[in-house]
Amino acid sequence: MDTNFGGSIPELYERLLVPLIFEPYAIDLAQRAVALQPSRVLEIAAGTGVLTRQLARRLPSTTTIVASDLNPPMLAHAQAIGTSRPVEWRQADAMQLPFEDESFELVIC
C-alpha cells in the first residue's frame, strides 16, 4: 500500500477537501478540545493541518500541540501553510506512536 501522498495531492486535498469536508469538523473538534483545557495535545493524522490550525487559534499559548501524520508530504504542506503559533510537527505512524505512555492529556484526530 502506497502511503506517500506526494506531488499535487496535499495541495488538492487542502484546496478541495478541507473546505468541503474537513473544516467544519475541525472547528467543532477544536471547540471541544478547548472545553477540556488540556496542557499537551497530540493530533494524529493531521494531514494538511486543518485541525492543527484551529487548535492553535483556540487553545491557550501554554498548551503544547504536537501534530503528527504518517505522510511527510502532507506534513510539509501543513508546515508551509503554518499556524498562528508554534506547533511541533512529527512524522509518525498512529499504529506505532513514538511517544511515552501518558505523554498527552488529549489525543485528537
> Measured between alpha carbons, how far is 102 from 106 in angstroms, rounded to an integer?
9
Confidence of residue 101 (pLDDT cuts 50, 70, 90): very high
Name which of 89, 47, 46 is nearest 64 in CA terms. Answer: 89
Contacts of 74 (CB under 8 A, 6+ apart): 5, 9, 10, 13, 46, 47, 48
pLDDT (mean) for 14-43: 90
Enumerate domains of the chain plus CATH numbers: 9-95+103-108 (3.40.50.150)
What the block records as the C-alpha cell of 28 is 467543532
- Orientation angle between helical segments 23-36 and 50-58, nearest 10 degrees: 40
| Euclidean distance between CA atoms 47 and 15, whole angstroms | 13
Please give the average per-residue pLDDT across 77-98, as a whole number. Answer: 96
Please tell me the pTM assigned to this model.
Answer: 0.87
